[in-house]
Amino acid sequence: MIAATEQLSQALATIAAQLRRVTVQVQDHRHGTGSGVIWNPAGVIITNAHVVQGNSAQVELADGRQTRAAVIARNPQRDLAALQISLPDLPVAPIGDSDRLQVGELVLAVGNPLGVTGALTSGIIHNLGSVEFSQRSWVQADIRLAPGNSGGPLANARGEVIGINTMIVHDRGFAIPSN
């Protein structure tokens, strides 16, 4: 039993390290700090539209590199934004299929809440689909999020990003599904 617990603990620590590598800190000088996910090797970062209000933002990678990012797409209705950076050797998030999620599944979130860089939290999927205040589809998780987690990854137990953390409602994290 102890060996199995140690193996599980080590597996979660490995997944957390991988997620932290692909999570960036996004700073918009007018609106504070949020998070983002390195989505592809060309330097596209996905975050929330409410994290970046202007045409650019400052981005810091987990390895300490900092650069300016241009906003290349924005969808305020969906609260998504795409940023572009130009740096070599970028780690890339593995993207999971949010259509295959199940209530009760273990999820992990990485972000930069309240100025803490690369913080990890865990929980389970509480509900999938739309809710009374929104017709949009959401991944709802019993997971502890705080300001600064917005734009960061919600990942499954395999370390695949299955959502972008967006808001907190009644102590539950709401994420935009990866699909």
Q: Which residues are catalytic?
A: 50, 79, 150
**Does residue 139 contact residue 117 with C-beta atoms inside 8 Å?**
no
Bridge partner list, 122 = 108
CA dist., res. 58 & res. 32, Å (int) = 11
The token duo for 1 is 């039993």
CA dist., res. 95 & res. 155, Å (int) = 9
DSSP for 1-47 reads -HHHHHHHHHHHHHHHHHHHHHEEEEEETTTEEEEEEE-STT-EEEE
Give Cα separations from 112 to 24, 52, 92 (angstroms).
8, 15, 18
